Structure 1
Amino acid sequence: MTISMYGMSVPVFTRMLTNLLAIMDKAEAYAADRKFDTLVLSEARLAPDMIPFRGQIMIATDHVKGCVSRLAGKEVPSWPDTEKTFDELRARIQKALDLLSTVQASDLDGSEDRQITLKLGGNEVTMDGETYLTQRALPNFYFHVTTAYSILRNNGIPIGKRDYIG
C-alpha cells in the first residue's frame, strides 16, 4: 500500500503542531508557577548562534504553509515574522492549523510528480513533489519542531517524549 502525499503531510503537520501547542501550555504553566515572563522562553536558544524558540516556531510554520501550498500548486501565503509572545506564537501555529484544515486530499493528488522550484543558497533548485516533501519539507519541519521542544526542555520545562509525539 502506498501512502498518499496528503497522508504524508497534512496529518503529520497537524499532529505535531497540535502537540507543540500543548507543550507551550506546559511551558506557560511552568513560567507562571516560577513567576517569570514567557518572553524569556521566546528568546531562549540552545547555543548563542542558534535561532531562538520564537524563530523555530516561525520557520516550522513556514515549512507547513510552503509545503502544502507548493504541493497544491498554489501561491505560498506571506506571513510577517513579527511574533514574540507566546500568545502571538500560538496564533501563528493556529493559523497554520487553520490552513491545513482547508487542504483536501484531492488538492495534493498527483503532487508527487509536480515540479517544485526553490531558491536555496541563491540558486534555484527544482525537484519533484515527493522529493521535496520527503527530503526537504518534512526534515526541515521536524528539525525546527524538535529544536523548539529542546529549547523548552533545556529550560526546565517538564516535558518528555510523550509530549513531543502526542
Structure 2
Amino acid sequence: MSFSLYDASAPVYLNMLRNLVAILDKAAAHAQANGVDIATYLDARIAPDMHPLTRQIQMVSDGAKGGVARLAGVEAPSMPDTETTFAELKERLAKTIAYVESLKPEQIAGREDETIELKFPGQTMTFTGASFLTTFSMPNFMFHVTTAYAILRAQGVPLGKMDFLAGARMAGA
C-alpha cells in the first residue's frame, strides 16, 4: 500500500487539531486552578509584533480547512474570525475537525501534480499539490500550532512535548 497525499495531510491536521483542543482544555484548567483570568491567555503573544493566541488558533483552523480543501480542489467553509473566548475557539476547532473529517481520501487521491495557486496582494504563489502540502500548507499549519503551544507554555501552563505530540503512533501499534 502506498502513502498518499491524503495520508500526509488530513490525519496530520486532525491529530494536531485534537491535540490543540486538549491543550486549550489544559490551559483552562490551569487558569482556573491558579486564579488566572483566562482572557489573559487569549491576548498573550510571544513578541509584540506577533499575533495573540486567539489569532493563532484561528490561523490553525484556516490552515487545516484551507489545506485539505485546496488539495481536494474544493472551496473551504468560511469562518469569520469573531471568537473571543476559549469556548468559541474550541467550537471553531470542532467545526474544523468535522470539515476535515468530511473530505474523503478519493477527493485528494491523484492530485499530487494539480496546480494550486495562492493569491496574495501583489503576489501569486503557484504549487503542485504535493509541493503545496510539503512546503507551504503543513509548515504554516505547524508554525501556528507550535506558536499557540509556546504562548500558553510562556504563560505558565504546564505543557510538555507529549501534549504537542499526543496521538503519535509507532509503526505496528
TM-score range, shorter chain: over 0.9
The 1-side partners of 2:111 and 2:159 are apart by: 36
The 2-side partners of 1:145 and 1:61 are apart by: 10
The 2-side partners of 1:160 and 1:68 are apart by: 28
SS of the residue corresponding to residue 127 of structure 2 reads strand
The 1-side partners of 2:150 and 2:51 are apart by: 12
**1:2: how far off?**
4.3
**1:16: how far off?**
0.5
The 2-side partners of 1:109 and 1:95 are apart by: 23
**1:119: how far off?**
1.4
**1:121: how far off?**
4.8
Counterpart check, 1:157 vs 2:157: yes
Question: Which AA in structure 1 matches 2:64?
Answer: V
**1:38: how far off?**
1.3
SS of the residue corresponding to residue 126 of structure 1 reads strand
The 2-side partners of 1:29 and 1:77 are apart by: 31
Cα deviations by residue, 1:115-146 (Å, 9 ceiling, x for unpaired) = 10101352122211000000000000000000
Counterpart check, 1:30 vs 2:35: no
Counterpart check, 1:98 vs 2:98: yes
Range with greater deviation from structure 2 (64-73 or 117-126): 117-126
Which consecutive unaligned segments of at least 5 residues does structure 2 have?
A: 167-173
Question: Which AA in structure 1 matches 2:37?
Answer: D
Range with greater deviation from structure 2 (103-112 or 145-154): 103-112
Question: Which AA in structure 2 matches 1:134?
Answer: T
Question: Which AA in structure 1 matches 2:35?
Answer: K
TM-score normalised by L of structure 1: 0.96
Q: Which residue does 1:53 correspond to in 2?
A: 53
Range with greater deviation from structure 2 (124-133 or 140-149): 124-133
Q: Which residue does 1:21 correspond to in 2?
A: 21
Cα deviations by residue, 1:76-129 (Å, 9 ceiling, x for unpaired) = 221101111100000111111000111111010111111101013521222110
Name the count of aligned residue pairs: 166
TM-score normalised by L of structure 2: 0.92
Counterpart check, 1:8 vs 2:8: yes
Q: How high is the sequence identity, in percent, across the aligned residues?
A: 46
Range with greater deviation from structure 2 (54-63 or 31-40): 31-40
Counterpart check, 1:64 vs 2:64: yes
Query: After TM superposition, which residue ranges in structure 1, 4 or more long, deviate above 6 angstroms?
Result: none
The 2-side partners of 1:76 and 1:87 are apart by: 22
Which consecutive unaligned segments of at least 5 residues does structure 1 have?
A: none
